[in-house]
């Protein structure tokens, strides 16, 4: 079977249209994650310490990855944790969850499950009542069926 010039051009045009219109998976850029952190902290660079991020080193199922945070704070009217932002720098939208606390919360601890698209960093940023900010970061390896990542 031989293709005519017209048929060859038609196949090429069809392939180009498919590749142009095919859905693409978008992942957050590092700049998006940094911008989200700056927006949350008001432009301040978070320090390390006070916040602890608890994630598995390897997640066999990226659809339900357990994440826990705890922040050292007396949780008094003068000194408490206002909020904690959790980000995943490889997801299409880096901001995953925000937890809000008050002095009446008693403790700044929270647990949730998040979805991770691929192996990536999970970041937790805490904002204190006095304006200071703290950050912790962990890499989570997402495997498919327990193999590779």
Looking at domain 26-142, which of 3.40.50.620, 3.20.20.140, 3.40.190.10, 2.60.40.2470 is its CATH number? 2.60.40.2470
pLDDT tens per residue, the chain (149 residues)? 677 777 766 666 655 555 455 454 455 567 899 999 999 999 999 999 999 999 999 998 899 999 999 999 999 999 999 999 999 999 888 999 999 999 999 999 999 999 998 999 999 999 999 999 999 999 999 987 555 54
Contact (CB, 8 A) for 32 and 92: no
Domain locations along the chain: 26-142
CA distance 96 to 98: 7
DSSP E strands in the chain: the ranges are 47-48, 51-54, 58-59, 65-71, 81-88, 95-100, 108-114, 120-128, 133-142
């Amino acid at each position: 079977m031989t293709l005519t010039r017209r048929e060859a051009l038609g196949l090429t045009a069809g392939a180009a249209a498919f590749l142009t219109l095919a859905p693409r998976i978008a992942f957050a850029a590092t700049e998006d994650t940094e911008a989200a952190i700056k927006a949350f902290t008001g432009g301040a660079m978070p320090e390390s310490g006070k916040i602890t991020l608890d994630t598995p080193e390897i997640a066999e199922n990226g659809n339900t990855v357990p994440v826990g945070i705890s922040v050292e704070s007396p949780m008094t009217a003068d000194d408490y944790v206002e909020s904690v932002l959790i980000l995943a720098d490889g997801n299409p939208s880096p901001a995953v969850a925000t937890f809000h606390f008050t002095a009446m919360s008693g403790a700044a601890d929270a647990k949730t499950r998040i979805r991770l698209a691929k192996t990536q960093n999970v970041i937790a940023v805490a904002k204190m009542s006095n304006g200071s900010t703290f950050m912790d970061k962990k890499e989570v390896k997402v495997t498919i069926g327990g193999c590779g990542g």
